[in-house]
Amino acid sequence: MSTSTPPSVYNRANPYKARLTENYSLSSAGSNKDTRHLVVHLGESGIKYVPGDSLGVFPRNLPKAVDELLAQLKLDGATPVDQPTGPVPLRDLLTTGYILNRVSKKFVKGVLERLPEGGKKKALGEIVGSEEAFEDYVFTRDYTDVLIEYPVPLTAAEFLPLANKVAPRLYSIASSPKAHPNEVHLTVAVVKYHTHGREKMGLATGYLAHGQELNKDEIPVYIQPTKHFHMPPPDAPMIMVGPGTGIAPFRAFLEEREIDGAKGKNWLFFGDQKKASDFLYEKQLVEMQAKGLLTKFDTAFSRDQAEKIYVQNRMHENAGELWKWIKDEGAYFYVCGDAKRMAKDVNQMLITIAQEQGGLTPEAAKEYIEVTLAKTEKRYLKDVY
Ligand SMILES: Cc1cc2nc3c(=O)[nH]c(=O)nc-3n(C[C@H](O)[C@H](O)[C@H](O)COP(=O)(O)OP(=O)(O)OC[C@H]3O[C@@H](n4cnc5c(N)ncnc54)[C@H](O)[C@@H]3O)c2cc1C
Ligand SMILES: NC(=O)c1ccc[n+]([C@@H]2O[C@H](COP(=O)([O-])OP(=O)(O)OC[C@H]3O[C@@H](n4cnc5c(N)ncnc54)[C@H](OP(=O)(O)O)[C@@H]3O)[C@@H](O)[C@H]2O)c1
């Protein structure tokens, strides 16, 4: 069994300023997505981690987002703002201290209070007064969008308490520290969308993909040790289901098993939109299969044919063997990636397979997968988000 992560002087309250040394797209021409491979160098920090851990990253806003907001606020970025440590230029505070890509509800309410009586105040009041309309309104807008629609004068001291403070984002680590000493590799899907006539990006993914120069000690990071998503004993078979960015921890698990010479069999289910453009880490995974490290490797490219094919369809096609690995050979079953739909459907497919292959009633199959396998035997582990 993997050892756990030793404590470090660096943590969420005291992050380490790490260096980005590589940043390239794993998606190729024709992809609808931009999924990136990032290498974060841990320098002399002494930070240790094990496969299954995540990296916490404190994001910052892109200069363009800060400039656009300052322009709408009609404020000078050089304006000093008093902080406990002394005065800090407004631009620096906005860049590192606040979430600027999604407007806060308290800001919209603050704008409403400041609007003069009239049609605009009435219109915004109706939005704020309806829970659903208010949710929709803030989901697609940033501060700049709101100020364009409802210009109100605000000083820096008035604006800042109305904005939400920055919070770190977690990324499943995609590297084995034995294969890449002093490095953390990440697999990051860049969030991009266009609303109200302006291009927008996810806060952390926009920053990591486009806002951080290489080789500068600037990214505040810390290890978030996993409580439960540990590798299995070296001889145990391991089944990994990781579509999209869900592949990340399994690249780490496989690299670690290769270096350790672990004897357990490895079965990977990977899926994404199109084989030609979205087969993340194709070369490395195909090599792992050729070497025999990947005992079995099934892929599901959802948009290469008229009907959707997902990882759980591949599980079903291989139901007999999958059940044998789990029931007779003591395999550990791992799933990583989208929590809302994919992980639920994979869970349901496991239950279906337990019914069909194990001859269990629907209730007994659910009990076996969700209680016996997951809780009692701890052989069904999830890293979903
Ligand atoms: C344990 C854990 C592990 C994770 N591992 C990974 C990983 O390996 N790789 C990875 O890429 N992510 C991973 N994530 C997710 C990651 O933490 C971030 O949530 C993700 O990268 C988005 O962050 P962001 O700051 O760029 O987006 P934010 O700015 O926080 O945006 C949040 C979400 O809102 C959506 N959104 C906002 N406004 C709109 C709009 N108007 N239209 C459409 N969508 C909108 C975006 O699609 C986005 O998903 C993990 C999360 C957890 C909890
Ligand atoms: N806002 C959106 O509409 C949207 C869409 C995609 C991703 N995202 C976000 O982008 C980020 C990265 O996503 P990702 O690369 O990890 O994965 P992803 O793009 O969400 O999905 C990877 C693969 O999983 C498939 N999939 C979709 N629904 C599934 C289900 N119920 N069961 C099994 N597989 C399913 C996808 O197929 P299809 O896409 O062909 O159905 C695709 O082939 C995530 O944060 C995700 O939330 C947002």
Instruction: Calculate mean pLDDT across residues 327-348.
Output: 98
Task: Indicate which residue's Cα is closest to atom 47 of ligand 1.
Answer: 191
CA of 293 from ligand 2 middle (Å) equals: 27
* Whole-angstrom distance, CA of residue 313 vs CA of residue 300: 8
Q: Which ligand is nearest to the CA of 224?
A: 1
Q: What is the pLDDT of residue 167?
A: 97
pLDDT in tens, 355-371: 999 999 999 999 999 99
CA of 253 from ligand 2 middle (Å) equals: 22
* Whole-angstrom distance, CA of residue 338 vs CA of residue 312: 13
The answer, yes or no, to whether any atom of ligand 2 lies below 6 A from the CB of 202, is: no
Closest CA to 253 of 2, 54, 53, 51: 51
Mean pLDDT, the chain, rounded, equals 97
Sign of CA dihedral 78, 82, 88, 91: negative
* Whole-angstrom distance, CA of residue 383 vs CA of residue 378: 14
Task: Indicate which residue's Cα is closest to atom 19 of ligand 1.
Answer: 169
The answer, yes or no, to whether any atom of ligand 1 lies below 6 A from the CB of 54, is: yes
Instruction: Calculate mean pLDDT across residues 371-382.
Output: 98
Residues 6+ apart with CB under 8 A from 81: 87, 88, 89, 90, 93, 156, 157, 160
Residues 6+ apart with CB under 8 A from 215: 19, 20, 21
Higher-pLDDT residue of 233 and 5 is 233
Residues 6+ apart with CB under 8 A from 102: 138, 139, 141, 142, 164, 203
CA of 384 from ligand 1 middle (Å) equals: 12
Q: Are 318 and 298 in contact (CB under 8 A)?
A: yes
CA 144 to chain centre: 26
Q: Are 336 and 172 in contact (CB under 8 A)?
A: yes
Q: What is the pLDDT of residue 3?
A: 62
Task: Indicate which residue's Cα is closest to atom 6 of ligand 2.
Answer: 33
pLDDT in tens, 68-127: 999 999 999 999 999 999 999 999 999 999 999 999 999 999 999 999 999 999 999 999
Q: What is the pLDDT of residue 7?
A: 77
Tell which atom from ligand 1 comes closest to the C-alpha of 140.
41
State the pLDDT confidence band at 214, using cuts at 50, 70 and 90: very high
Would the pLDDT of 302 be above 80?
A: yes
pLDDT in tens, 39-72: 999 999 999 999 999 999 999 999 999 999 999 9
Would the pLDDT of 1 be above 60?
A: no
Q: Are 233 and 206 in contact (CB under 8 A)?
A: no
Q: Which ligand is nearest to the CA of 103?
A: 1
- Secondary structure class of 22 (helix, strand, coil): strand
Q: What is the pLDDT of residue 8?
A: 85
Distances (CA, A) of 98 to 37, 67, 150, 372: 26, 14, 21, 44
- Secondary structure class of 129 (helix, strand, coil): helix
The answer, yes or no, to whether any atom of ligand 2 lies below 6 A from the CB of 35, is: yes
Could you tell me whether strands 54-57 and 380-384 are parallel, antiparallel, or unpaired per DSSP bridges? unpaired
pLDDT in tens, 130-143: 999 999 999 999 99
pLDDT in tens, 221-250: 999 999 999 999 999 999 999 999 999 999
For residue 369 the two structure tokens come to 């997968």
Q: What is the pLDDT of residue 232?
A: 98
The answer, yes or no, to whether any atom of ligand 2 lies below 6 A from the CB of 310, is: yes
Buried (b) or exposed (e) across 139-167, using 16+ Cβ within 10 A?
Answer: eebbbbbbbeebebebebeebbebbeebe
Q: What is the pLDDT of residue 298?
A: 98
**pTM higher than 0.85:** yes
The pair phi, psi for residue 45, each rounded to 5°, is -65, -25
